[in-house]
Copies of this chain bind each other. A is one copy, B any other.
Amino acid sequence: MPASVTDSATPIACLIVIGNEILSGRTQDANIRFLATRLAEIGIPLREVRVIPDVRETIVAVVNELRAKFDYVFTTGGIGPTHDDITSECVAEAFGRPWIVHEEARRRLAAHYKPGEFNAARMRMATMPAGAALIDNPVSVAPGFIIGNVHVMAGVPRVMQAMFETLAPSLRGGPPVVSRTVSVLGLPEGIVAEGLGAIQKRHPALDIGSYPFYRPTGNGTALVAKGTDADAVAKAAGEIRALIESFGKQAVEGEIP
């Protein structure tokens, strides 16, 4: 996204996906797209994603690098009860804070488990950097947490999504980005490229993208105009329609399924 799409007052976000299972190919990531979509709706563009392994030095270094660069840092993964769940203690180390039992988190977990099942491994899920604020977990109780601008969430998509929605009302975004898609069948992007480049030049504050698709129902191109100025987006979308029609093709509003 050109820097011009959002002004300097718009907060920007990054996501750190922590987990060997993504890097080994075991697990298909489902968190990037969810967070990207929801953050865009809130007006906090996602500007970078890092996928990193469950390695202490890496997690500490990346958290410290990115919390200095972005207004909002989100992490997913590594906050369960097993030996490979080290995100929480690494975030404590990154902030130079002790890693201690959070009383309210302990209370919630103690109330949730049957007597005798709140064992030492599960107590790890109540152990957090000193001063952390809880992120509620309506699905499986064990909370995430916030420290500074870092928001630590679960990796399981259904739990992460529930945590994010409890957070969402407290996030402060800039003006939301408006997006319009115009699609066409049978017109390759190489043919519209020159005209599309001219539209981008006429609207330097917008982000004009071109995405070819190949489907059983036919090949084509989706052209997307995006920005915080809804009138400019509408104008650019009109110019994209006219460009498509100048090649004798039919412009379709939205994506072609």
Q: B47 contacts A209, CB within 8 Å?
A: no
- How many monomers of this protein are in the complex? 2
**Residues from 148 to 173 in A contacting B, C-beta threshold 8 Å:** 156, 158
Q: Please give the distance in Å from A146's CB to the nearest CB on chain B.
A: 22
Q: Which residues of B contact A224 (CB under 8 A)?
A: 21, 26
**In the bound complex, what is the Cα–Cα distance between A130 and B15 (angstroms)?**
35
Q: Please give the distance in Å from A254's CB to the nearest CB on chain B.
A: 12
In the complex, whether A122 has a CB less than 8 A from a CB of chain B is yes
Of B37, B45, B83, which one neighbours A196 at CB under 8 angstroms?
B83
Residue of A23, A26, A28, A37 contacting most chain B CB atoms (<10 Å): A23
**Residues from 41 to 74 in A contacting B, C-beta threshold 8 Å:** 45-55
Q: Which residue from chain B places its CB closest to the CB of A53 in the assembled complex? A: B1
Chain A positions near chain B (C-beta within 8 angstroms)? 1-3, 17, 20-29, 32-40, 45-55, 80-84, 117, 119-122, 125, 156, 158, 177, 179, 189-194, 196-197, 200, 207-212, 214, 224, 226
Q: B24 contacts A51, CB within 8 Å?
A: no
Q: Which residues of B contact A122 (CB under 8 A)?
A: 190, 193
- Beyond A48-B51, A196-B83, whether A32 also contacts B36 by CB under 8 A is no
Main SS at interface, chain A:
mixed
Q: Please give the distance in Å from A28's CB to the nearest CB on chain B.
A: 5
Q: Please give the distance in Å from A144's CB to the nearest CB on chain B.
A: 15
**In the bound complex, what is the Cα–Cα distance between A158 and B226 (angstroms)?**
26
Q: Which residue from chain B places its CB closest to the CB of A221 in the assembled complex? A: B82
Q: B194 contacts A226, CB within 8 Å?
A: no
Q: A2 contacts B55, CB within 8 Å?
A: yes
**In the bound complex, what is the Cα–Cα distance between A238 and B101 (angstroms)?**
34
What are 19 A-B pairs with beta-carbon distances under 8 A? Answer: A1-B23, A3-B55, A20-B209, A22-B32, A23-B36, A23-B47, A24-B46, A24-B177, A25-B33, A25-B39, A28-B33, A48-B52, A49-B49, A50-B51, A80-B189, A81-B193, A82-B210, A83-B196, A119-B191
